[in-house]
């Protein structure tokens, strides 16, 4: 039994000694393989997202123009109306009486003027008398026109085609001049407002002259679905908000199906095609103190740490503004095995192959 135990101990020691003295080549083989590639120049689509507020192109409060009691209301909440349709009627008894009285005064002044002019032609009265009576007639006609306008104010009409909102007063209500009766929205075109940082505003203005057609503006609704029609930039406000550093943009969207309503919210997506953009995989970078770096391999296979400036982020890619170009070679895989100034052995991979398989070979 003692001899058997000695043999087992000896075999175990031999196995441990063998494991501790693996050939150097085998240890190097198990190390992480370093893969290098080059930045690629290509056309990319940059997407920017902004929270937005949706407004009707015309949204007004319909107010009472005179005091009085409301007659039967000929419209319903949510009804589509045409320009000129009567929305509300205030009982016009007082206005009718005033209009009749002023019209009668105007008719009387007109008769007096005609008689005086006939007498003037017969040299009975002076020309001055005719002018006095004419002034009286003009004043009476003006008062009659004013009374007619007040009578028209008793009928509140739609100034444009639109949709009626909630009715704030019902039949028989006493309303004062200026009371809000309802709101009216013209939803044929919707104005979508969103705030843009100053940097993005300057980029937009710089590219406006030659890249306006490359902008594609989409609207994502609260349900997560995209609105089926594309928009365009309709206006930019005049002033920046000093507290936020943003400026308001307005995108105009056609709304032929009436899906959008005043007060909705959503997300604006602005897609812009950038030609000849220098892109690198995100996994080829590392961060030190909030700065982005890559390892650039020179002609003598020496790796050098280099700072880069990222302009845009696109899924697994960075669009580079400054730091590397398509002539450089950067470490793609095995970044943790590399130090600044190390000589490296690497396997080269074509940029097109790297970009094509990014989502499947992320480190």
Record: fold of 31-44+276-360: 2.40.420
Average confidence (pLDDT) over 224-232: 94
Q: What is the DSSP string of 79-107?
A: -EE-TT-EEEEB--HHHHHHHHHHHHHHH
Average confidence (pLDDT) over 301-329: 90
- Is pLDDT of 45 > 70? yes
- Helix ranges restricted to H, 169-249: 198-211
Query: What pTM did the predictor assign?
Result: 0.69
Q: What is the pLDDT of residues 169-227, one digit of tens each?
A: 999 898 888 999 999 999 999 999 999 999 889 888 877 766 656 688 999 999 999 99
DSSP β-bridge partners for residue 60 = 184
Query: How high is the pLDDT of residue 363?
Result: 38
The sign of the torsion formed by the CA atoms of 158, 164, 169, 173 equals: positive
Query: How high is the pLDDT of residue 129?
Result: 85
Record: fold of 62-184: OB fold (Dihydrolipoamide Acetyltransferase, E2P) (2.40.50)
Distance CA(67)–CA(170), nearest Å, equals: 15
- Is pLDDT of 230 > 90? yes
Q: What is the CATH number of domain 47-57+186-275?
A: 2.40.30.170
Domain limits, the chain: 31-44+276-360, 47-57+186-275, 62-184
Greatest mean pLDDT range, 49-53, 150-154, 286-290:
49-53
Greatest mean pLDDT range, 12-16, 76-80, 102-106, 126-130:
76-80
Give exposure, 126-146, as e/b (b: 16+ Cβ within 10 Å). eeeebeebeebbeebbebbee
Residues in CB range of 41: below 8 A, 6 or more apart: 276, 277, 278, 279, 326
Residue 285 has φ and ψ, to the nearest 5°, of -115, 160
Q: Does residue 61 contact residue 165 with C-beta atoms inside 8 Å?
A: no
- Is pLDDT of 14 > 70? no
Distance CA(124)–CA(206), nearest Å, equals: 82
Angle between helices 93-121 and 127-153 (to 10 degrees): 160
The sign of the torsion formed by the CA atoms of 344, 349, 352, 357 equals: negative
- Is pLDDT of 150 > 90? no
- Is pLDDT of 87 > 80? yes
Nearest to 39 by CA among 308, 287, 325, 333: 325
């Amino acid at each position: 039994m003692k001899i058997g135990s000695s043999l087992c101990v000896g075999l175990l020691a031999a196995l441990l000694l063998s494991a501790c003295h693996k050939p150097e080549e085998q240890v190097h083989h198990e190390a992480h393989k370093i893969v290098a590639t080059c930045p690629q120049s290509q056309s990319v689509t940059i997407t920017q997202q902004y929270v937005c507020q949706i407004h009707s192109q015309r949204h007004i409060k319909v107010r009472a123009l005179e005091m009085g009691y409301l007659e039967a209301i000929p419209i319903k909440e949510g009804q589509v109306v045409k320009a000129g349709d009567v929305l509300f009627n205030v009982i016009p008894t007082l206005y009718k009486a005033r209009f009749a009285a002023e019209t009668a005064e105007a008719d009387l002044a007109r008769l007096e003027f005609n008689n005086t002019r006939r007498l003037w032609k017969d040299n009975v009265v002076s020309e001055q008398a005719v002018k006095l009576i004419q002034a009286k007639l003009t004043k009476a006609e003006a008062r009659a026109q004013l009374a007619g306008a007040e009578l028209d104010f008793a009928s509140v009409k739609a100034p444009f085609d639109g949709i009626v909102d909630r009715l704030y007063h019902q039949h028989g209500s006493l309303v004062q001049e200026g009371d809000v009766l309802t709101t009216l929205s013209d939803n044929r075109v919707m104005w979508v407002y969103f705030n843009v940082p100053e940097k993005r505003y300057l980029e937009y203005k710089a590219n406006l002259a030659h890249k306006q057609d490359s902008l594609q503006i989409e609207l994502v609704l609260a349900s997560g679905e995209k609105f089926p029609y594309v928009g365009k930039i309709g206006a930019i406000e005049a002033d920046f908000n000093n507290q936020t550093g943003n400026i308001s943009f307005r995108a105009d969207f056609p709304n032929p199906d009436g899906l959008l309503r005043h007060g909705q919210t959503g997300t604006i997506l602005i897609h812009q095609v950038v030609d000849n953009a220098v892109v690198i995989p995100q996994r080829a970078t590392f961060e030190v103190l909030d700065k982005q770096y890559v390892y650039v391999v020179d002609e003598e296979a020496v790796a050098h740490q280099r700072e880069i400036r990222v302009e845009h982020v696109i899924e697994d890619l960075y669009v580079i503004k400054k730091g590397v170009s398509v002539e450089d070679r950067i470490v793609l895989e095995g970044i943790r095995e590399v130090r600044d100034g190390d000589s490296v052995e690497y396997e080269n991979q074509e940029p097109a192959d790297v970009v094509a398989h990014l989502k499947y070979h992320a480190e």
